[in-house]
Amino acid sequence: MDLLSLLFAFVYNVICSSQQSLRARYLKGLETLPAVSVVVSLGTVIGLLLLLLLLMEASPLPSVVVIAFDATKDRSVKELKATIDGVRKKGGILFPGDRLVFLGVLDKVPHPMGYQVKACPDTFAGASIRVMEEEVIKKVDTYVNMLVRSAGVCEAERVCVEVTITAGTPAKQVVLQEVAACSAAWLVLDRHLRRDLRFYLTQVASKIALIHDNLSVEVERDHTKNISDVTEHKSFYSSSRYVPVLNYQGHGNRRQLVVSSSSSSGDSFNKESKWETDSNISSDLGSSGSHYVSETEHRAENQIMQRQFSDIFRQKSLEEPILCSICGIRTDLNVKDSMRFNLSEIQLATDNFSDANVLGEGGYGHVYKGKLHSGQFIAAKVHKEESQQGFSEFQSEIQVLNFARHKNIVMLLGFCCKENLNILVYEYICNKSLHWHLFDKTADTLQWNQRHDIAMGIGRGLRFLHEECRGSPIIHRDMRPNNVLLTHDFVPMVGDFGLARWKTVDPVQTRLLGTLGYLAPEYVESGIISVRTDVYAFGVILLQLISGRRVIDARQQEGQQSIREWAEPLIEKLALHKLIDPRLGESYDTYELYQMAKAAYLCVRRNPEMRPSAGQVLSLLQGEHDRMQHLRDTIIPDYISG
């Protein structure tokens, strides 16, 4: 563009100089403006203009390139990077100064009950505007974070990257409208949209390319087409944001991480161009295997994340629970600074993370027992730097537990975020886990009254998470005996909320998280998450409390290795004496056993819609259902007959 500006200025000066020279000579009477002089001047100007046009042809003006994809399908950072690299290296599509728009189309959005509905608020069975808005904003945040590194590569070539997510149906009409709205020079179709390629070739004016299964790019049409104006569909909901750029600047071997955000003039200021820090940046950057990040760069990024950590919890996040379903007001997820621990406090409490204080280890890292200066016993959960849980789960656990305050839920005392350590500080629960008490050979046998009380306590905690937690239900997603801690009074405390999510978050997952044997069938088969997923796992725990069996017992014959497959026929036949833990002998309450077996049977139904809620399970365990049935059978007939 600098060269073109100079040429424009040069042509303008030539014209002005020619006019002034001829006018001066004419006024002095030296010439009478012969036609030949005029022709020569005009010839010079025309020649320069032709040269200018040729240069403009060789150096195209900035344009918009749209990569359209199905946003209902999950993608990895590696796949997105490969897509951008394919477009960049294809040639003839992306030029310096262009704007690369990732257009994600949501023709379906998750319903709070755990199934997909059409993104069409005009129909009875369609999603509401509020649900569409929430899903769109969440997807924008996700893809912006995933594209941060690729945006840095594009920035070096003077190409800015923008994410646009639009909810509406049909998907091809959404793409058509968005491409027309931004006057895109190119439309690059993701492989999942190729089924409508013929439609795009006839209805879209832009040049068209297609991404194949191997992520290579093939040009389908290298010229534009005259198309009539596209009518805007009013039921679409769209949100856009520019992808921030991580620039590494500095001298010599020392680099400084600078966070910047692309912006441009014109209509782009109507977009959401302001970058709001999102916790997923840290984990998503680390998941891109094709980039080598030096230790210095990693340390610089980590320092930036530390400075931004306190701001993360003050932002309006989509995961904030909705307080009012009518006006959409959300509950603030601010985490008080008083919850922040100094690393030195935790080091002192745990004897500098001594091996002697290790309580447990998992994919997240280690848990250490400690004692604060005040005398408070703690359990410090130290996340590994390369933990699969990552920074987003660390943030999620803090936010969820900040709201989950209940006598049957482990209390979060605070957190520490220092250098490459992310630490959660819990109250210390003194009597190990339910898993240890059920299956460890050195543990005393849990008596029936203890088992029944534990079941009731877990039910109360789960009911609180699903039905009583302020704002929105919380789905634990990893209910199992290992995550139920006990006091010496055998009061159960539900813990480990690293996988927990607000119910408003996307209920469809492509990566299985949790523990096999406790995962509901709809989650294993379709990735659907709902409160009924937790209820299923609770049902398995109830079966274990009754029988004392592990969730999978390879010693049993085929068809009876799974505790659910083994227990269901026995409950259906009411052969509960075969179900009870033989270590209990005859020391159990028959009525309570019947109620617990009935509740467990209903919880592990394959159809999630047929499972009771956590509150209903608790009522079954308390026998309230039978008492109400008895009242209905006795009082109502008497009232009618009277």
Interatomic CA distance for residues 535 and 605, integer angstroms: 10
- 192: pLDDT confidence band, cut at 50, 70 and 90? confident
Residues 479 and 616 in one domain: yes
Using an 8 Å Cβ cutoff, are 429 and 489 in contact? no
> Cα 128–133–138 angle (5° rounding)?
130
Residue-wise pLDDT tens digits, 565-613: 999 999 999 999 999 999 999 999 999 999 999 999 999 999 999 999 9
Predicted pLDDT of residue 392: 60
Q: How far is CA 384 from CA 34, 128, 391, 515, 525, in A?
A: 86, 40, 10, 20, 30
| Domain final position from 405, 427, 449 | 427
Residues 142 and 178 in one domain: yes
Average pLDDT for 537-559: 91
| Domain final position from 403, 427, 451 | 427
Interatomic CA distance for residues 93 and 187, integer angstroms: 10
Average pLDDT across the chain, whole number: 74
Using an 8 Å Cβ cutoff, are 410 and 429 in contact? yes
Residues 600 and 467 in one domain: yes
Instruction: Give me the catalytic one of 478, 496, 506, 534.
Output: 478
Residue-wise pLDDT tens digits, 484-519: 999 988 999 998 765 545 454 444 444 445 577 888
Look up the CATH number of the domain holding residue 165. 3.40.50.620
| Domain final position from 243, 260, 283 | 243
Query: Which of residues 61 and 174 earns the better pLDDT score?
Result: 174
Look up the CATH number of the domain holding residue 531. 1.10.510.10
Predicted pLDDT of residue 471: 58
Residue-wise pLDDT tens digits, 237-259: 788 888 887 644 433 333 333 33
Residues 353 and 417 in one domain: yes
**Domain-located, residue 297:** no
Residues 34 and 90 in one domain: no
Residue-wise pLDDT tens digits, 555-568: 888 878 899 999 99
Residues 518 and 587 in one domain: yes
**Domain-located, residue 251:** no
Say yes or no to pLDDT of 636 above 70.
no
Residue 566 lies in domain: 434-628
Residue-wise pLDDT tens digits, 312-342: 444 444 445 454 445 554 544 444 455 788 8
**Domain-located, residue 498:** yes
**Structural domain total, the chain:** 4
Which residue positions form the known binding site for ATP? 381
Residues 558 and 605 in one domain: yes
Query: Which of residues 440 and 294 earns the better pLDDT score?
Result: 440
Residues 379 and 404 in one domain: yes
Residue-wise pLDDT tens digits, 92-121: 899 988 999 999 998 888 765 556 677 776
Residues 144 and 68 in one domain: yes
Predicted pLDDT of residue 496: 78
Residues 495 and 622 in one domain: yes
Global pTM value: 0.49
**Domain-located, residue 292:** no
Say yes or no to pLDDT of 470 above 60.
yes
Interatomic CA distance for residues 74 and 80, integer angstroms: 11
Which residue positions form the known binding site? 381
Predicted pLDDT of residue 362: 66
- Pairing label, strands 484-486, 474-475: unpaired
**Domain-located, residue 248:** no
Residues 503 and 610 in one domain: yes
Predicted pLDDT of residue 454: 96
Residues 176 and 47 in one domain: no
**Domain-located, residue 101:** yes
122 catalytic residue (yes or no)? no
